[in-house]
Each structure stands twice: as C-alpha cells, then as structure tokens.
Amino acid sequence: MLDENKETAGKIRTAAAGSSRTRGATTTPQRRESGLTRSSSGIGSNRPSLAPRAETAAPSPATCPPFRVPTVACTTLDRMTDFNITTTRQTAAGSGMAAAPEDVRPVSVSARLGRLQFHRSGKFRVLQLADIQDSPKVNKDTVRLIAAALDAARPDVVIFTGNQIAGYDDVFRDTFRRRRWDDANRTHIGVTTSKVRVAMGEMLRPLIERGIPFAWTYGNHDMQSGLDTSVMEEMVRYFPGCLNPPSPAAAEPFADAADDAADVPFVEQAVPESGLPDQRVISCEPGTFALPVMSADRSRVVLGLVVLDSGDYAREGGYGSPSARALRFLREVPQRIGGARSLVFQHLPLPQYYDVLRTVPSNEENAMQGYRTHDAQYYVLDPDRTLPGGYLGEGVSCPDHDSGEFAILRDTDGYIGVVAGHDHRNGFVGSLNGLMLVATPTCGFSSYGPAAANRAARLFEFDIRHPYSPRTQLLTYGELVGKPSGGKAYTFAVEGQSNAAGGDVNLLKKPGLLAGVAAVLKKL
C-alpha cells in the first residue's frame, strides 16, 4: 500500500533532531584552486576531494563554487567511497554554526557500500528534489530545505527532476533563448557556463558535504540559459557523487533530425567517478539513464530507478515529450535490468494525470482550471484514485499530445509508476491502471509555489518485502526548518486539499513503546 503524509511539525522535528547527523550540518568553507585531482596518499587515496572533478580543461578558480574541503583519514574497518567528507552538528537547521567533526562516513548507506542497494534492514530510500529553479545565487531557504531534508531522510540517493536552472533569469539575459531551437548568443556563452556551474555547485553543496550521490535530469527552463542539454550534462558530471553516465556517441536528445541516434546502442557501464565504484548504469542520452538497485547480498537486481528527460517545448505549442530514443529506452529497460520493475523520475507530468482528477463545476471549493487542452474543465483530486493528504493547487501542465509513454509503462509490466515535478503547487499520489502517478511541489524559494511552509522534498522508502509498493512522504520546510528567513515567498491562488481522511504515515519517526501498545489496543 502507498502512503502519503504531512505529519505534525513537532513529530518531524523530534525525528530529525534524533538522527545521528543533525539537519543543516555544514563545515567551514575553503576556496580551492582550479585543476584539483584525486588525493595520492592514505588508505582512502582513491577518493577525490570535494572540489569538482577535473575536466580536460580545468576551469579557473572564478568559475568554480567555493566548496568546503575538510581532509579526513580513512580506516580499513569501513568500506569507504570516493566521498571525502566530515560531518558536523548545528544548533539549528541552516544556522551556519558548526561544531566539531563526529563521523567521517557518508550519510548515504549505498555510498558506504559502493553501489545502490537495499540495506540489511531491508530498506532503500530516494529523495526527490523538484524545481529549484534558481540562478547562481541560490536562495538560502532553498539550501536550508535541501540540507534539512537530507539530514532527516538520510537517503541513499537524491534525484533532481529538472528545472534546477532558471534559464529565464536576468543573469542569463545575454544568452537567453525562449525555445531550444532558437539561437543563443554565443559571444557570452562562456560567462553563462561559469554562472550555471556556480549554481549547480550551490545546489549540490549539501549533498557533497554529506556524501550522498545524486542523479540529474532536465526540464523546460534549464536550456533557456542558452546551454544545450549535452553541455550541462558534462558540467554536472564534474561534481562528486554524480551518477549521470557518459552518454553514447549520439546527437543532442531533441535534435531536429528524425532520431539520428535511433541505432546507437544503449550502454551499460560503471561510473567510478561518482564515488560508487560498483554501481552499473544503463545510459541512453543526456538526462536519461537507468540505475539498477541490488539486494543487500548483491545476488539480484530488486528495483530500477529510471531518470528521464521528458522534453521541454513542442514546436506546435505547449510542452514537449521524451525523444523517440528515450521512449525506445523505456521499452527495453525491464529486460536490461533482469525483469525488475522500475520507478521513473522526470520533469513533465503525463496527460494521464488528469485521469486521477475529477471534473467539478467551476464554483466548487478548491476547483482548479485545467491547462490548454483541458482548460474548459475544472478539477479536484478524485478521492477514489488519489491517496489521502495530497493537494491540487493548479491545473496539470502536461503536453497537449500523448507521446505513448504511459502505454509503454503499463504494457511492458516493468514499471511501478512515474514521478514528476513541474507543477509547483501540486503534491499528490494517484493510481491508474496499477501505476503510481506522483506530483511533487517545488522545493525552491525563488519562483512561484505553495506557501513557504509547504515547499518540500519528497521521500520514497522501498521495503525489500514489497519493493514495488513504496511509501512516500512530503518533507516540508515548515516541518523541518520552520519560518523562512527570506521575504514572502511568491504564491498564487489557493491550495486545494483532498477530501479523503486518514492514512497518515511518518517515515521519519520510529514508533515508540507507547505507540506500539496503542496500535495493539486499537485492534482489540
């Protein structure tokens, strides 16, 4: 059974405070020189520093974000990875007040073990971050939320589902383009490249400090900075912990030619630079790849995580769709990972998301007008097809035309469902034809969204006993951090709320003795 919940702030704060690594942990920033390479001494000498991985042509110090780079010793008692980190405690989330180091191991259990796999406890955790949508000066409340969610959830891996970069921001005005097929001003592209790299570094800083690997895909605003997806892909792979693999020798995924890369084979490869030397990745094209997740004893693939570039805009209007090559990749993934089922993470929601909504009169409470091809109708969540606790705060902004993606996910019998962002004010979990349809609100504070307290990351917890029925929970700013430090967050309209009740779950809090007794008494 799927569960979604927004628990009381007190419970969440208690759980987060009780973790061995408190929220908002940080270390003293130190600026690094360019062209850094891996350490060549000590037992952990195969680990790079926290500075971005060296490229063929190393950027100048001005183009690199100032990473925190503590140096720690590694012991043979621990299976260490390519993360070279130290952790600290703080008095409060995001306070910036660091204390003495306490644990040198990565927060991610999978990072400690060298590949994505279930723990001996039988659990595996994924944290989704949607629509950060910011410039090089990333909003400090966004960073606080990311740090607090990492400390509370302690995920194995983080997946960024697109629109990390606000390509329309004024800082990119010299290279801005409205659509992918528009020409960007190449004269200033080097400056834009440096600014995007800085933005990536600021967003990734909390992950790198904690030793948590990540996967990264794209939305409809990233490319508006003027950088092609393939360029941004090489840039993000520059950072420690990145699981994005080198893409096969293929064209830009949305090239105008009729699927130039159709005959280029999909490649299974290792990504040792990620810090997970034993992890295998099946690559398709920039922003599209599959991550197999193994059992605790590594005897079999239990689960797949598919990261998909769902497109940006369509020439005929509205939003785009995955490339033909990406759709072919979806058909082949189940057999590529040995028959295990996968959960797909992407930016754009599918048209089928409307099938878990219910049409209502325009004057009904919490009714939201549909988008483009659905704008003649008003909608609320269908309580028979969505889990309790979700909300609909805007119409689903999906492509006008059905690319056939949902049919592939349904008919191959190799998928659990699809997880999307894009609609900053929607947070719900639906079910259609046996597939999860998940909407996650923005975690960013520099664009529109729900009330500041409800901006969130989404946690998925998989259990080895039923790996295809994950539990999920929104980890909100209000619950984890409290009051935002910045000004009033940009919001609009109202938040619709599911009229279903019950079904609450808190993935961050272990039940105590009294809770266990109460649960037993309830059944009597």
Asked if residue 102 is part of any domain, the answer here is: no
Structure token digits, residue 90: 């703080």
417, amino acid identity: G
The answer to whether residues 15 and 31 touch, using CB atoms and an 8 Å cutoff, is: no
Average pLDDT of the segment spanning 412-427 = 97
The answer to whether residues 285 and 250 touch, using CB atoms and an 8 Å cutoff, is: yes
Q: What is the pLDDT of residue 180?
A: 86
Q: What is the pLDDT of residue 443?
A: 98
- Taken as a whole, the chain contains a residue count of 524
Return d(Cα 445, Cα 219) in angstroms, integer. Answer: 17
Average pLDDT of the segment spanning 9-34 = 38
Return d(Cα 309, Cα 161) in angstroms, integer. Answer: 9
Using DSSP, state whether 308 is helix, strand or coil: coil
Going by the DSSP 8-state scheme, the letter that residue 345 receives in this structure is E
Return d(Cα 184, Cα 417) in angstroms, integer. Answer: 36
Q: Which of 82, 479, 50 is nearest to 273 (CA)?
A: 82
Q: What is the pLDDT of residue 507?
A: 80
Helices (H), 423-496: 477-480
The answer, yes or no, to whether residue 91 has pLDDT greater than 50, is no
Q: What is the CATH number of the domain that holds 164?
A: 3.60.21.10
Asked if residue 288 is part of any domain, the answer here is: yes
Asked if residue 522 is part of any domain, the answer here is: no
Average pLDDT, the chain: 80
Asked if residue 278 is part of any domain, the answer here is: yes
What's the pLDDT tens digit per position in 281-326? Answer: 999 999 999 999 999 999 999 999 999 999 999 999 999 999 999 9
- Least-confidence region, from 67-71, 405-409, 465-469: 67-71
Average pLDDT of the segment spanning 270-275 = 92
At residue 186 the predicted structure's pLDDT band, cuts being 50, 70 and 90, is confident
- Least-confidence region, from 332-346, 358-372, 440-454, 510-524: 510-524
Asked if residue 349 is part of any domain, the answer here is: yes
What's the pLDDT tens digit per position in 110-164? Answer: 999 999 999 999 999 999 999 999 999 999 999 999 999 999 999 999 999 999 9
Asked if residue 40 is part of any domain, the answer here is: no
Domain with 282, as residue range(s), is 109-484
Predicted structure pTM score:
0.79
Give the contacts of 381 (CB within 8 A, at least 6 positions apart).
Answer: 356, 357, 358, 390, 391, 392, 428, 430, 496, 498, 499
Please give the C-alpha separations between residue 169 and each of 141, 223, 448, 500, in angstroms, as whole numbers. Answer: 18, 12, 14, 39
The number of distinct structural domains making up the chain is 1
Task: Tell me which of 441 and 34 has the higher pLDDT.
Answer: 441
Q: Which DSSP string do the residues of 70-138 spell out, in sequence order?
A: ------TTS---S--------SSTT----------S-S-HHHHHTS-B--TTSEEEEEEE----B-SS-
Asked if residue 261 is part of any domain, the answer here is: yes
Asked if residue 284 is part of any domain, the answer here is: yes
Task: Tell me which of 24 and 79 has the higher pLDDT.
Answer: 24
